[in-house]
Amino acid sequence: MRHAYTRAKALPEDLVEAQAKANSACEKIWRTARKDADFAMVRPHLAEVLRLTRESAAALAGALGLTPYDALMDGHQPGIGADDVAPVFAAYEDFLSTALPLAEQYQAEHPAPIRPVGPFPVAAQQMLCRDLAQRLGLDFDHARLDQSAHPFSGGTPTDVRITTRYLEDDFTSAILAVVHETGHALYERGLPPAYARLPVGEAAGMATHESQSLIVEMQAFRSDSFLGWLGPRLHETFGGAPDPYRLDNLGRLWRRVQRSTIRVDADEMTYPAHVILRFRLERAMIAGDLSVSDLPAAWNDGLHALLGVTPPDDAQGCLQDIHWYDGAFGYFPSYTLGAMAAAQLMQAARAVIPNMDEAFSRGDLSPLLAWLRVHVHGVASRFDFNTILERATGRKLDPLAFQSHLRRRYLRAVD
């Protein structure tokens, strides 16, 4: 409570008001700028957002005893700063430079995935997605699943709301979004009722939240054992040829590495590279070392250095994400910290739940969910990110667990 009060009190009213107005104005213009791939249209508005964000960061830094960028990170994942993240990201960049070409080579030596042929009626997708969320553990007496332009999770622990979007020519988007958002919703539902409406009863930050969505989506749902159960259900729902729904094909379809310019479409091996780029750029902007005018070129150069690809235009480059244009700086590291924590938590859970894969092969997530209820959900914010990991796994964030997971999945390597 003291921490929340300190953050709120550090910002003068006129600055909060100015930020709200600037963020709203910039975000609206960004929508058109992204559509038209016209960075110049939004550049002055982003410059104003950045100016006010730096002013806010300085005020928060003084109150919290942190650097300005760390003060922004603190608003999304308390207890983790840039000096904690930078070496973790540098080590991952080194890992990726070797692992990605090997994964691409392994992929090239095996058949390309067969894509199921539609159409896939929206009504059938809706029924399947609801059944799947319920099987994963979502209690629809306290939850809703609806449709939106972009998937999200929200609500309160006693009334969680998740959404997805449906495409009649591809059911993948809807299913994977529902599984991801269900992970978020399960975390909210598992927060301790005794601490309801108190700061200590809230989720322990966005990196922790991402770990809970990704342990469900990436670690459990995309495992061989779960996909083996899912395939026949997909075929039963949509019909057609059975081959696209076989385990080996679903694995190649939903666990495929590919260098791309778009973060939200990236696979789990290349996704951290997109986050690393944004972390470095926003840190430089907050420090005053990178101007808004130089952002597009810095973005393109940085992505090429990390993945060897260059966006064809700014819509697929520095305009693709809403975060900065809405004033959200310091958020991006949470995505990859969450992925790494998810791998570490799954490693620990498997060590004490010997029948995990057998349960997954029945479409049953309950053994994993019960473990998470004790070690993550029920803890809420009594401990910080690293302390939760240390109590659950015996060590603070260990990026090697994530690397081991990727080697097993994409290189079929045994540690």
Interatomic CA distance for residues 231 and 208, integer angstroms: 30
Q: How confident is the model at residue 377 (pLDDT cuts 50, 70, 90)?
A: very high
Q: According to the model, what pLDDT value does residue 415 have?
A: 58
145, 127 Cβ separation under 8 angstroms: no
Interatomic CA distance for residues 197 and 291, integer angstroms: 41
Is-cis flag, bond preceding 119, omega within 30?
yes
109 is known as an active-site residue: no
Summarised one tens digit per residue, pLDDT across range 169-180 is: 999 999 999 999
Whether the pLDDT of residue 150 is over 80: the answer is: no
**Active-site residue (options: 181, 210, 268, 282):** 181
Distances (CA, A) of 357 to 58, 155, 171, 350, 365: 49, 32, 25, 9, 10
Summarised one tens digit per residue, pLDDT across range 44-78 is: 999 999 999 999 999 999 999 999 999 999 999 99
Whether the pLDDT of residue 149 is over 80: the answer is: no
Whether the pLDDT of residue 1 is over 70: the answer is: yes
Interatomic CA distance for residues 69 and 54, integer angstroms: 9
Distances (CA, A) of 258 to 92, 220, 275: 17, 21, 16
Q: How confident is the model at residue 414 (pLDDT cuts 50, 70, 90)?
A: low
Q: CA-CA-CA-CA torsion for 164, 250, 270, 135, nearest 10 degrees?
A: 40
Question: Which is more confidently placed, 415 or 42?
Answer: 42
Summarised one tens digit per residue, pLDDT across range 196-237 is: 999 999 999 999 999 999 999 999 999 999 999 999 999 999
Q: According to the model, what pLDDT value does residue 119 have?
A: 95
